[in-house]
Homo-oligomer: A and B are copies of this chain.
């Protein structure tokens, strides 16, 4: 075929880009602000003005993102009422939203390692034990897997 210097020369993805779940997830929540809003919800910030203040996001964009997150079922509104105040809406994650936590943890761990020099500004702990929580790649047999040991395989059909 070809092997001019010593390069493996993979020319095309083994996977149809349209069939990859990454594409779909990015289409749903793959913009900067959506991810940051999700982070706020994970941190327990639930109110419009608090999120807007924390993130410095424009109000129009925040309105749009919250509506979108609710629309796709990642967040939901829930009424609340301060003592001398009318009923308002706050935002909380759904189970579907909580399942995005590994993505956020992945972003956090990478930033901790390469941007904060291994000195994490925030740590994740298990509520009861207080033990630190980390993200791990494991095979079905339970063994840790290094990232470079991983290969991809298309399950439906090859492209081209």
Contact = CB atoms under 8 A, between A and B. Distances in A.
Contact of A100 (B20, B23, B110, B127): B110
A90 B105 CA distance: 30
Given A35-B26, A141-B131, A152 B42 contact: yes
A17 B116 CA distance: 14
Nearest to A148: B98
Main secondary structure of the interface of A (DSSP, over half): mixed
Given A2-B82, A133-B145, 12 more contacts: A13-B43, A13-B50, A13-B54, A15-B43, A17-B36, A26-B32, A30-B107, A101-B150, A103-B106, A129-B141, A131-B141, A135-B136
Interface of A: 2, 4-5, 7-17, 19-26, 28, 30-32, 35-36, 39-40, 42-47, 50, 54-55, 73, 78-83, 90, 96, 98-116, 119-129, 131-141, 143, 145, 147-156
